[in-house]
Structure 1
């Protein structure tokens, strides 16, 4: 594997540090968690309405798909910039990525979601997807 395909070491360090900080906030065991307080911060973020379960599940799945789509797009742009693809491959790659973006938009429309709805707020880590 070439070094161009590997993530930058500083970025890996940032991700590792962010994950470490997130785990440091967790108790050692689930039993150590205090009981949830009604109206507490988690109650404002967590919606458990049975009427919206399907939409919320679709939102979560589409968020994961969008994250993967963006990662694939970045990798494709890197390959194009490196010049390792033929013109036909670049064209096919571009069309595929545009089609995937259109399908994501269609699915969002079907479930009354916007692309911004898919950007989950990870609290102190910030938003999941780049702007």
Structure 2
């Protein structure tokens, strides 16, 4: 297996092997970023529903979240990952996302 054809295992676990370390690290970093993105999105929805934001703030927040989503899609494509690859298995705790 070479770095070019490395594919994370479909088990949902992060697999770091010597030849695919870059891809495994990218998977881990993007998983953490996706988790944080989802938390920020949920908090933003609560703030919007709570009426704590102006229309301008809501617009800026929406654009920022859309841009982050686009960037995540670009990074997943660069590292040949999909949404399932970012949903790592935490053992007895279940899946992360």
What TM-score bracket applies, with the shorter chain setting the length? 0.7 to 0.9
Does the 8 A contact of 1:121 with 1:128 survive in 2?
yes
Does the 8 A contact of 1:120 with 1:127 survive in 2?
yes
After superposition, the C-alpha distances for 1:44-97 in whole angstroms (9 at most, x for unaligned) are: x57442111000001000100100000000000000000010111101100100
- List alignment gaps of at least 5 residues for structure 1: 1-44
- CA-based RMSD: 1.2
Q: Which residue of 1 aligns with 2:57?
A: 89
- CA distance in structure 2 between the partners assigned to 1:47 and 1:126 by the alignment: 17
User: Could you state the TM-score of these two structures normalised by the residue count of structure 1?
Assistant: 0.62
Whichever of the two has the greater Rg, that structure is 1
Larger relative contact order, structure 1 or 2 (CA cutoff 8 Å, min sep 6): 2
Which of 96, 103, 108 in structure 1 is aligned with 2:71?
Answer: 103
- Which of the pair is proportionally richer in helix? 1
User: Could you state the TM-score of these two structures normalised by the residue count of structure 2?
Assistant: 0.83
- List alignment gaps of at least 5 residues for structure 2: 1-12
Which of 58, 63, 85 in structure 1 is aligned with 2:31?
Answer: 63
SS at match of 1:51: coil
- CA distance in structure 2 between the partners assigned to 1:109 and 1:103 by the alignment: 10
After superposition, the C-alpha distances for 1:77-123 in whole angstroms (9 at most, x for unaligned) are: 00000001011110110010011011001000000000210001111
